Structure formats: C-alpha cells, structure tokens
Amino acid sequence: MQEIVDRLAATDRGAEIARTLLLPYLNHAATMLASGYATRDDIDAAMRFGCGYPIGPLALIDAVGPDTVIAGLEKLHAETGDPLHAPAPALSDLASAGASASSEEPQLRRAVDTIGVVGTGTMASGIAEVFAKAGHDVVYVGRSQEKVDGVLAQITKSLDKAVSRGKLDEAGRGAVLARLTGATSREALADVDVVVEALAEDMDLKIELFRDLDRIVKQGAILATTTSSLSISEIAASTSRPGDVVGIHFFNPAPVMKLVEVVSAESTDPEVAETAKALSTKVGKHPVSCTDRAGFIVNALLFPYLNDAVKLHEADGGSLEEIDTAMKETSLPMGPFELLDVVGNDVSLAIEETLVGAFGHAGWEPAPTLVRLVQEGKLGRKTGEGFYTY
C-alpha cells in the first residue's frame, strides 16, 4: 500500500499521468459510497477481486489522505472544467460515510442442490465448472448437441489442466464430470433449484428465456442472470415471479475470478438475494451486494477510468505505452489500453454507452478513438488488433 501512496506523491511524468487518471476514479468511488449504493467494504472488495487491484478506492483515499485527494481534484478541475473532477462533498467526511458490510454470514434461505446453467459460451462453461467443483449437480442447456458437447469439452480441458498442475487428482476430475448433465431442451431445467442464465447481452433474448423459465422451472427456484449491463428489473418483470429473480454477475474467467456481484432489483425477495450471496460464498467466491443500476459496482468505476485514459492519449497526455507503464508502476495489474484490448473494444464501448445513457455525464461520452477502432473492427486481442497489434 505504501508503495502506491509514495508513487502517487512523486513528481515525475508517470506519477502525473497516474494522478490524472486515478483521482477521478477515487472521486467517483466516494460519490458511490455517499449515495448509499453499496457499502465501503463491498466497493473496495469489488475492485480488488473484480479487477485485481491491490487496494480498493476508499482504502486508497484513506491511505493518501482525503485532503490530498481533494487538493489534487481541485487542481484537475481548474485545468479541465469537467464537473466530474470537482471534489465530491463526501471526500470531506469520508470517515462517516457508508457503513461497512454486516459481519453476519449470509445463509441459504432456500434449498439449493441442483444448478441449471443456460448458455454454452466461455462464461456459461466456467459457471457450470464452478458449481460442479463445489459439489453441485449441474444441468447445462444449449441450442444444439454440438454446443452442449462444446461445454463439456471446455470443462474437460480446464480440469485436465488442473490435474497437470497438481491442483486436482484424477478421482476429483471424474467426480466433477459425473455431476454434469448436458441437454438441448430447456425442459431439463424443470426441477433445478437455481438457474443461472449466461446468454449474450441482448435484452430480447433474455426476456424470451426468462418467460420460458417461468413456465418450466418449479416454483420456489431462483432465476438468476449474469448480465453485466442490462436491467434486472426489466428481466424480472417478464416473469410471474419477479421476487425470485436476482443478478449473480460472475467475472471472466469464472473458475479463476473470485468476485460475484449479487444485484437486487426492487422486486427481488431479500431471501433470494441472501441465498445468492451464501451460495456464492459456498462455491469459493467473494460476493458483494448492490442494487439494479447501470454498471453495478465494478463496471461503473472501471470504464470511466478506461475512457479517461483514451481521452488523455488523444489530448497528447502520453503515448499508449507511456500511460500503460505509468498505471502499472502504480501497482495496477494491467495498463488501461492493455485491459481494453483484453475486454474487447466493442464490449467496452457498449458499457460506456450504457453508463452515459443511465447517468448522462457528458464527461463519460465514449472517446472518439474507441469509437473509431470499433467501427474499423479493431476490437482487441480477439481480432488481432485494437489499441495494439497482436
């Protein structure tokens, strides 16, 4: 922690770049806390476990000193005039803002035995693997036998890797695979206790699915979506049991990333949200709680920072390499342009557009360079070219 504090206090160009990008991020986190959207502990844990940051934003404010953060933001605001750079009132009284999370462990308020997973992509396969490893029987559903076989192949490959690294023995591998059942009909989900949807980020697709799940799945089962950007309230309203619908947002790759955002719509039964948290803990994840708002915790804090990095580059504030290096020297695991290329520039643009649509901050309008790269099909690592060439 002290290394980060010392780095932000340095006077070289890299430290100046880091302050320019991190101060608005800290400001945003303080605003999120003051709004009551999430607790101090959950905001910090979300960024540590969801992004691999060595310290959460609110703990970093405490370490640097709120007065130092305020002074830095005042300087930045004077230079940019961006209202988002004006110090948040919460910074002046951060110590009393936002209670920490309850120390009481969440409990399984509903029976959870068999898990259903809908989808056949990387995220769906990873989620099925997580639950099967934790001892749950899993029924996973795809549109075709080929898709279903692909899920089993992905999980088998992951388990084989774990065996080769000594993290799993052959008996354990066999036990996990025995808990997996693939199907091409959603009717196979009739008796599961929890269904986790992991389809593409398409509202029409999700609503069609949840209407079908409402018809098929037994009463009392939890219907969960892994959406990272769409309205859970809207998805819930498509069913006759909105109280049973909750967001369980895993991070990719699901077997590796520890964070799960448990997102409650206004209609979500508190017992359902608590059960989702308890289940996440049971399978080895770190759940954080928030309500149904664009970006939830991680994306709402991360993507404005990434967008700011692109805008800083556009304003001749540093080369791609210079900005990436500056942020990694501040102990972040990746530079912003490296991360954008990993996430996918198309995905990043869609999230940023969602945030602007929800909050209306002009300062969050997607950077022109990001828009251009997406239009040119330069989406990052998955296409071989993005901000960098691979």
CA distance 55 to 130: 26
Q: CB of 99 within 8 A of CB of 40?
A: yes
Choosing from 28, 85, 249, 313, the catalytic residue is 249
299 labelled catalytic: yes
261 labelled catalytic: yes
CA distance 209 to 166: 39
CA distance 299 to 261: 11
Q: Scan for tokens 């006759």, then name that residue.
A: 240
In sequence order, the β-bridge partners of residue 115 are: 138, 194
Choosing from 125, 228, 238, 345, the catalytic residue is 228
Q: CB of 181 within 8 A of CB of 152?
A: no
For the chain, the distance separating the N- and C-terminal CA atoms, rounded to the nearest angstrom, is: 33
Choosing from 299, 307, 345, 348, the catalytic residue is 299
Q: Hey, what amino acid is at 386?
A: G
Q: CB of 58 within 8 A of CB of 94?
A: yes
Q: Scan for tokens 């959870």, then name that residue.
A: 112
Choosing from 129, 197, 261, 338, the catalytic residue is 261
Q: Which residues are catalytic?
A: 228, 249, 261, 299
